[in-house]
């Protein structure tokens, strides 16, 4: 019954159904869980003599008179005078047929609304309680719901009243009874009733917190189930020759950081177990994740197995192939690159090399998971920028393999703990929170458009010193709807100006794979010194000579995205400069966000701010991949409940009984039926 489409409810036609759909309300259950954003407490009464224009108030009094008046445009209005023992207030109604007969002299009412000055102190179209009418809705604490165009609070209350009376008693239990009691409720039906019509606002907010806790609990139970099922799979216990890691580290031109060594110890221990590793390696831009991944590949291949490293873009996959090959091939570990752009002849050689075991590490894009790509001895699967893939995709990679390969996910997007618990709650986590020595300082400056000439002069100076620069735009091409500079137009202008003498290239996501690789290759080699690009360079390009980045319309980017972009410069030990060019219509909020970038280079602090400003989906990458659409719980306001829910889920193993609840709440499962 809870799955019934709301359009079948009495009084909801196609138009109303479309309005509700905009609020995410498709079923009766969605209506029950459409919780108030706040409450209107009509128990707090303001004396008429104390009324101040612009304030929201409740006034209790007696109707003195009601008269019909005609305005200059010929429209009639109803004006009623209400009196308490301190003064009189005017109530004005432009649509009054539903109310006129009830506003008779001596009628006792409570009027609620915003104080205006309309021919004197007044409230236009107040909400009314008729204290002397036995059938009047005299509830003193009213819910205030999130709405959309065409829906009023009164309509929403009437709809929810209808489903509460008929369906609230039939909702299934979710939280254990003792947890409900600790929150102050006897059963779930009471929670749902009280969230909509509490005796006081505090009770309503407590009911909302209870529903938020159960929402977290349902999702954490899923992740706990996934973790438990994964632990039942047979893994591959890898036993590399003694000294494998020491040999790998000794071949590097630098020493590993303490954080890298700690992560490697955890990974090496995981690889020796016959339970598949499921670990996230999280680290800020430039913290050295690729080196740790290469070391894990070394352990895998020296133990007699093959490794796979998957990246979301061809640019990043090619970058990894260059970097990882340089680390592993001197030790006799052979690496290959497979992307959608790999030529048929080269693809055939790669596939044959995988089958006969002469290829140890396959690096590539999604192309490596095509059915025709057979990796007979796959012992380790590494996915970089995991948030570009999603929970279900990553389970598909391993679900049909027995024994199951070890799994390492990497992310350069610093993710706040609360978000990591929802996005990666089924994984063990290693964090690289220490930057390798030798990186230069990056100076960030927020600039107005009228400072463009000085930035241009700065670019000319740095390019003259043999350095390189990125110039980033939010759009690929000019837009009629948006008055923004775009990458393609700016590329044409720049290459014809003084900077053109240093070589200017264009890189966008719409270009063909071979075009992308050609222009990035020229930028790497120094054939071109300036790369005009969209955010396709956010991950993947490692050009030590790049010291300057200019981001146009910077306020249109997320904070975490800007931080990722900024991480593309200063990777070769030299100082670097990031200019965030804000638009004239940047606004106060945009300027405040850019100020965060100006004040810190701590990716985790930036991600926390981004989470507050933009929400979880945008921070982690894409809303549709892996992040549940919590309809009640807030990752910011309810973070303490998330910790509690994770603890409860880990000790209860109630997933099977919660499977249907998950589907109702989150529109189906976002993970395989394992």
Q: For residue 614, what pLDDT is reported?
A: 62
The pLDDT, as a whole number, for residue 626 is: 45
- Structure tokens given for 508: 């966008």
User: Residue 392: what pLDDT?
Assistant: 56
Tokens of 123: 């409230």
Q: Which residues contact 673 (CB under 8 A, 6 or more apart)?
A: none
Cα of 536 vs its chain's centroid, Å: 19
Q: Average model confidence (pLDDT) for the chain? A: 87
Residue 93 forms beta bridges with which residues?
A: 78
pLDDT of residue 289: 92
Full-model pTM: 0.73
pLDDT band at 664 (very low <50, low <70, confident <90, very high): confident
HSE-up (13 A, CA, CB side) for residue 125: 7
33 with 631: CB under 8 angstroms?
Answer: yes
Distance separating alpha carbons of residues 461 and 597, to the nearest angstrom? 25
In this prediction, residue 368 carries a pLDDT of: 86
Tracing tokens 């680290």 back to the chain, one arrives at 283
From CA 494, how far away is CA 490, in angstroms rounded? 6
Find the mean pLDDT for residues 240-267.
Answer: 94
- Lay out the sheet containing 306-310: strands in order across: 335-338, 361-364, 306-310, 378-384, 406-411, 278-283, 428-432
DSSP 439: P
Which CATH number describes the domain made up of 44-139? 2.40.50.140
Confidence band for 261, pLDDT divided at 50, 70 and 90: very high
Q: What is the structure's pLDDT at 519?
A: 93
Contact partners, residue 366, CB within 8 Å, separation at least 6: 310, 312, 340
Which residue do the tokens 């921070």 mark? 619
If one compares 195 and 651, the residue with the highest pLDDT of the two is 195
Reported confidence tier of residue 398, pLDDT bands at 50, 70, 90: low
501 pLDDT more than 60 = yes
Spatial separation of the C-alpha atoms in residues 472 and 573, rounded to whole Å: 22
In this predicted structure, the answer to whether residue 129 has a pLDDT above a threshold of 50 is: yes
What percentage of the chain exceeds 90 in pLDDT? 53
Q: Which residues, at least 6 apart from 400, have a Cβ–Cβ distance to it below 8 Å?
A: none
Which residues does 192 contact at the CB level (< 8 Å), separation at least 6?
32, 33, 164, 168, 171, 207, 211
Rounded Cα–Cα distance for residues 489 and 491 (Å): 5
At 622, the pLDDT band (50, 70, 90 cuts) reads very low
Cα Rg of the chain (Å, integer): 31
pLDDT at residue 264, rounded to an integer: 96
Instruction: In whole angstroms, give the CA distance from residue 274 to residue 403.
Output: 9
Beta bridge partners of 531: 470, 505
Whether residue 462 contacts residue 529, with contact meaning beta carbons closer than 8 Å, is answered with no
| CB count in 10 Å sphere of residue 502 | 21
* pLDDT at residue number 268: 96
Over residues 320-338, the pLDDT tens digits come to: 999 999 999 999 999 999 9
Evaluate if residue 43 carries a pLDDT over 50: yes
Mean pLDDT, rounded, for 131-145 = 85
Q: CA 118, 122, 126: angle at the middle one, nearest 5?
A: 120
CATH T-level fold of 244-432:
Rossmann fold (3.40.50)
Annotated domain spans of the chain: 44-139, 244-432, 442-620
Tell me the helix, strand and coil percentages in the chain, rounded to 5.
45, 20, 35
Average pLDDT in the 98-112 region? 91
What pLDDT shows up at residue 120?
A: 84
Q: Of 37, 34, 36, whose CA–CA distance to 25 is shortest?
A: 34
Give the whole-angstrom CA distance, residue 267 versus residue 245: 11
The kind and range of the H/E element at 295 are helix 289-302
Q: Is the pLDDT of residue 390 over 70?
A: no
502/180 Cα distance (integer angstroms): 68
Block residue for tokens 């996230």: 280
Q: Which residue has the tokens 């603890």?
A: 647
Which of the residue ranges 117-126, 210-219, 620-629 has the most confident prediction, judged by mean pLDDT? 210-219
pLDDT at position 29 over 60: yes
CB within 8 A of 295, min separation 6: which ones? 245, 248, 249, 264, 267
Q: With a cut of 60, say whether residue 134 has pLDDT above it.
A: yes
The pLDDT of residue 508 is: 87
Judge whether 73 and 18 are in contact, CB under 8 Å: no
pLDDT(583) > 90: no
H/E element holding 289? helix 289-302
* Beta-ladder partners of 81: 65, 90
Q: What does the pLDDT read at residue 211?
A: 97
Query: Can you name the residues that pair with 407 across neighbouring β-strands?
Result: 278, 381
Q: What is the mean pLDDT of residues 166-178?
A: 93
Count Cβ atoms below 10 Å from residue 359 Cβ, excluding itself.
20
Give the separation between CA 623 and CA 591, rounded to whole angstroms.
Answer: 25
Lowest mean pLDDT among 215-224, 563-572, 616-625: 616-625
Q: What is the pLDDT at residue 621?
A: 44
Report the CATH superfamily, name and number, of domain 442-620: P-loop containing nucleotide triphosphate hydrolases (3.40.50.300)
Distance (Å, whole) CA 33 – CA 208:
10
Contact 557, 474 (CB under 8 A): yes
Residues 98, 76: Cα–Cα separation, whole Å: 14
SS3 per residue for 366-418: HHHHCCCCCCCCEEEEEEECHHHCCHHHHHHHHCCCCCCCEEEEEECCCCCHH
37 near 202, Cβ under 8 Å? no
> Does residue 220 register a pLDDT over 70?
yes
pLDDT at 662 over 60: yes
* Eight-state DSSP code of residue 450: G
Question: Which of 246-272 are b and which e, b meaning 16 or more Cβ less than 10 Å from the residue's Cβ?
Answer: eebbeeeeeebbebbbbbbebbbebbe
- Between 626 and 324, name the one with better pLDDT: 324
**44-139 matches 442-620 in fold:** no
Q: Does the structure show a pLDDT above 50 at 671?
A: no
pLDDT band, residue 480 (cuts 50/70/90): very low
């Amino acid at each position: 019954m809870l799955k019934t489409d709301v359009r079948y409810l009495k009084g909801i036609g196609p138009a109303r159904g479309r309005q509700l759909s905009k609020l995410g309300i498709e079923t009766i259950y969605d209506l029950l869980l459409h919780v108030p954003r706040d409450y209107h407490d009509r128990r707090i009464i303001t004396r008429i003599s104390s009324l101040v224009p612009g304030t929201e108030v409740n006034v209790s009094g007696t109707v003195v008179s009601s008269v019909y008046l005609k305005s200059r445009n010929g429209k009639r209005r109803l004006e009623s005078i209400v009196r308490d023992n301190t003064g009189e207030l005017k109530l004005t109604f432009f649509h009054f047929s539903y109310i006129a007969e009830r506003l008779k002299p001596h009628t006792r009412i409570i009027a609620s609304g915003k104080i205006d000055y309309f021919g004197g102190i007044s409230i236009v179209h107040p909400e009314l309680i008729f204290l002397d009418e036995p059938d009047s809705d005299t509830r003193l604490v009213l819910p205030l719901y999130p709405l959309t165009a065409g829906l009023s609070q009164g309509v929403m209350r009437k709809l929810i009243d209808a489903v509460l009376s008929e369906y609230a008693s039939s909702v299934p239990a979710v939280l254990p009874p003792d947890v409900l009691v600790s929150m102050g409720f006897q059963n779930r039906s009471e929670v749902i009733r009280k969230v909509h019509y509490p005796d006081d606002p505090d009770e309503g907010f407590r009911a909302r917190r209870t529903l938020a806790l159960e929402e977290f609990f349902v999702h954490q139970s899923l992740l706990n189930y996934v973790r438990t099922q994964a632990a039942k799979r047979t893994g591959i216990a890898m036993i590399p020759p003694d000294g494998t890691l020491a040999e790998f580290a000794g071949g590097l031109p630098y020493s590993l950081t303490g954080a890298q060594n700690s992560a490697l110890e955890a990974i090496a221990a995981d690889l020796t177990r016959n339970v598949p590793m499921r670990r996230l390696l999280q680290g800020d831009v430039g913290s050295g994740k690729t080196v740790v991944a290469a070391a894990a590949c070394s352990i895998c291949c020296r133990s007699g197995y093959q490794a796979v490293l998957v990246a979301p873009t061809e640019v990043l996959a090619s970058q990894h192939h260059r970097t990882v090959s340089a680390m592993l091939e001197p030790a006799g570990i052979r690496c290959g690159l497979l992307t959608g752009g790999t030529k048929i002849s080269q693809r055939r050689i790669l596939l044959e090399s995988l089958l006969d075991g002469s290829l140890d590490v396959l690096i590539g894009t999604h192309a490596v998971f095509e059915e025709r790509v057979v990796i007979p001895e796959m012992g380790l699967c590494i996915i970089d920028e995991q948030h570009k893939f999603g929970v279900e995709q990553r389970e598909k990679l391993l679900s049909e393999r027995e024994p199951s390969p070890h799994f390492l996910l990497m992310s350069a997007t610093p993710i706040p703990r609360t978000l990591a618990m929802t996005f990666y709650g089924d994984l063990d986590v290693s964090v690289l929170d220490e930057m390798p020595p030798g990186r230069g300082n990056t100076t960030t400056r927020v600039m107005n458009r009228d400072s463009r000439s000085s930035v241009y002069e700065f670019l000319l100076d740095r390019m003259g010193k043999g350095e390189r620069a990125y110039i980033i735009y939010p759009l690929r091409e000019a837009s009629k709807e948006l008055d923004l500079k775009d990458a393609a137009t700016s590329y044409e202008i720049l290459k014809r100006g003084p900077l053109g003498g240093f070589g200017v290239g264009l890189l966008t996501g719409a270009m063909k794979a071979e075009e992308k690789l050609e222009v990035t290759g020229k930028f790497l080699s120094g054939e071109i010194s300036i790369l005009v690009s969209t955010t396709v360079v956010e991950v993947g390009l490692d050009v030590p000579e790049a010291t300057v980045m200019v981001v146009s319309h910077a306020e249109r980017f997320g904070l975490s995205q800007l931080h990722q972009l900024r991480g593309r410069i200063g990777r070769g030990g030299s100082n670097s400069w990031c200019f965030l060019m804000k638009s004239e219509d940047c606004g106060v909020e945009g300027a405040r966000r850019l100020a965060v970038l100006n004040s810190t280079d701590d990716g985790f602090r930036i991600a926390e701010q981004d989470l507050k400003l933009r929400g979880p989906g945008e921070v982690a990458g894409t809303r549709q991949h892996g992040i549940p659409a919590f309809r009640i719980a807030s990752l910011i306001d309810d973070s303490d409940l998330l910790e509690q829910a994770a603890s409860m889920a880990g000790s209860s193993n109630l997933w099977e009984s919660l499977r249907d609840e998950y589907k109702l709440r989150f529109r189906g499962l976002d993970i395989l039926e394992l």
